[in-house]
Structure 1
Amino acid sequence: MQTSTPIRRLRALPLLLALLAGGACAAEQVGVSPWGAKDEIGRLNLITPASRAAILARVSGKQAYDLAVDYFVGMPSWQAAGDPPYQMWLTHTPHGNIVADPMQVGADMNRHVSYTGSAVSMYAHMGTHIDALNHFGLNGKIWNGYTEAEHLGDRGWTVTGAEKLPPIVARGVLIDIAAAKGLAQLPDNYRVTRQDLRQALERQQTSLREGDVVLIRTGRMRDYDNAQVYMANPPGLSLDAAKFLVEDGGAMVVGADNLSFETFPSEVSGNYLPVHTYLLAQKGAPILELVNLEALSRDRVYQFAFIGASLKFRGGDAAPIRPIALPID
């Protein structure tokens, strides 16, 4: 039986879509650093002695905002890919030391000198953390063309590891999308657009400058103590919004109060995490996640000195960070 032309076209559609997706993937390539072939920190090169001095000179000293979250058993964490949850356990307790006497100092000494010790186990992308540039790549390469074959060993990456991230001292900007829309928090799966960013900046009478740390508030942090609610269908940034921050606004680092920064499902055929690959692999812009922005929003602090240093996990793809915001005059 002869197959009609419309049916033949329908049968060919999956192949056509696959070819289009393949073309989209091929078009995405990692960025080559303008700071040289040995660059491992990307846009963090925008931090200079002059830029640090300029923002610190404007600090009012009136208040300090802690932008980090608590770590606790049962906290929100990414486990969809099989990564472990946060665990903490006591390795020593005052009474346990009396019974076991691990230091062999005797019961009287253990009663006199109490000793508590603990240990933790966690995925690197938990709590308030910063993604290093090796976290995501494209076509077998990460930022600046480094490859797994040459630079990834059994103890982590030899380039772009979390230990290479310098202390960040820069101008910080809060873009409060939820407040700009008159909401306590954005709806599930809401995808923040370029226009959303522009409207919020206009409402706040704030502008972006090259080298800023730009933090997006969705309001999701209000549910942080309820992991099930916090993790379910979070809002996040669109790819176009991310491009606006970096290419138009000059952002050095971007971050948000959600866990994934972007939202799902992906808006780009052939790439399940297009915002991450764009920022990390193509633009060399580290990502901050789970940043607590509620106090800044409450007090309408939109510009500040951002200061943060992450743990130096050698070869790691992320590390916890405890950032602070110091309002500026």
Structure 2
Amino acid sequence: MRHFLIASLLAPLTSFAPAMGQDTVGTSPWGPDDELGRLNLMTDESRAAILGRIAGGRAYDLSVEYFIGMPGWHAAGDPRYQIWMTHTPRGTVVDDPMGVGEAQNGHVSYTGSAISMYTHTGTHIDALNHFGVDGRIWNGFSADEYLGDRGWQVTGAETIPPIVARGVMIDVAAALGVDRLEDGYRITRADLQQALERQGTPLREGDVVLIRTGRMQDYETAARYMHNPPGLGMDAARFLVEEGGAMIVGADNLSLEAFPSEVPGNYVPLHTYLLARHGVPIMELVNLEGLARDGVHEFAFIGGSLKLRGADAAPMRPVALPVE
């Protein structure tokens, strides 16, 4: 799997010409100190508007489970998810870590555990410092000035506020009449437009836009889930941001974009375009199967990520509440 992913990233690039300014970082219209990017589009009024439309009933959990052997990005050598027991009922009796004696340890069954993982594991949100261009990230912050041994001093995952916004799920697989998009399929602007028209869900500025490829159906089998996944093309990403007004863009695959890159000299052009150029956070491994099954395309999106100071991503457990 590692060899496949690396080969995909390093495969010959196409002749697609990048848009002018695409490979430069964006300057925030919200000022030189802005660390939030398009999350500034979320206001008290926008939150109240979507919360006022909640229909009640079912809540959809958009997150995945964490388990040993789960899919993850390891091509660059990042750690896999691990869990281990720090305390077990029998081990506590033997070790007596609290010094309370065998009788109490036998009566009080103590279980504890610890985990380790890459911050981009499972359902997560990318902070704006995750990818940059020429040593700078969103709003011109430079790694030389703002990145220390304890993480970024700006745009870290701790700066991401609780997200309450209108959510739109674009079911590309359903619009194309397939259960899941084929391996390596590159989603186009026309695909998105077709799906939105079929669903009757226009995009609005400040939306959380989530793309369904159907790949989440393979989540329990890491090798299958990670094998040459479908993803967004550059023109599709431009449509979502520059015409659709998306605040956050996410999908049910791991890396959002399709490989190999369309842009010469940049192996992850969607990431630099969204994060560094436009200040758009990215969500990955979003479980959209429940929404797809029930035909829910518009909803209140509510999610909070872990406040990992200085980090470039954080796990997230978002929910979708259908609206009237």
Q: Which residue of the partner structure matches residue 272 of structure 2? A: 277
CA contact (8 A) 2:47 2:165 kept: yes
Q: Which residue of the partner structure matches residue 159 of structure 1? A: 154
Q: Which residue of the partner structure matches residue 285 of structure 2? A: 290
Residues of 2 paired with 1:27 and 1:132: CA distance? Answer: 19
Q: Which residue of the partner structure matches residue 299 of structure 1? A: 294
Q: Out of 114, 117, 121, which is 1:126 matched to?
A: 121
Q: Structure 1 residue 324 and structure 2 residue 285: aligned?
A: no
Query: Structure 1 stretches of 5 or more lacking a match?
Result: 1-17
Q: How does 1:1-329 map to 2 (within 5 A)?
A: 28-329=23-324
CA contact (8 A) 1:141 1:148 kept: yes
Deviations 1:37-74 (A, max 9, x none): 00001000000000000000000111100000000000
Q: Provide the identity percentage.
A: 68
Residues of 2 paired with 1:23 and 1:299: CA distance? Answer: 38
Residues of 1 paired with 2:35 and 2:18: CA distance? Answer: 28
The CA RMSD over aligned residues, in Å, is: 1.8
1:23 CA displacement? 9.7
Deviations 1:195-249 (A, max 9, x none): 0000000110110000000000000000000000000100000011000000000
Output the amino acid matched with 1:141.
Answer: R
Q: Which residue of the partner structure matches residue 14 of structure 1? A: none
CA contact (8 A) 2:66 2:122 kept: yes
Question: Which stretches of structure 1, 4 residues or more, deviate above 2 A after TM superposition?
Answer: 20-27
1:317 CA displacement? 0.1
**Gap change, CA 1:59 and 1:28, over 3 Å in 2:** same
Q: Which residue of the partner structure matches residue 7 of structure 1? A: none
1:22 CA displacement? 12
Residues of 1 paired with 2:305 and 2:29: CA distance? Answer: 24
Query: Structure 2 stretches of 5 or more lacking a match?
Result: 1-12
CA contact (8 A) 1:40 1:159 kept: yes
Larger radius of gyration: 1
1:76 CA displacement? 0.3
Deviations 1:85-128 (A, max 9, x none): 00000000001101111111111101111100000000000100
What is the number of equivalent residue pairs in this alignment?
312
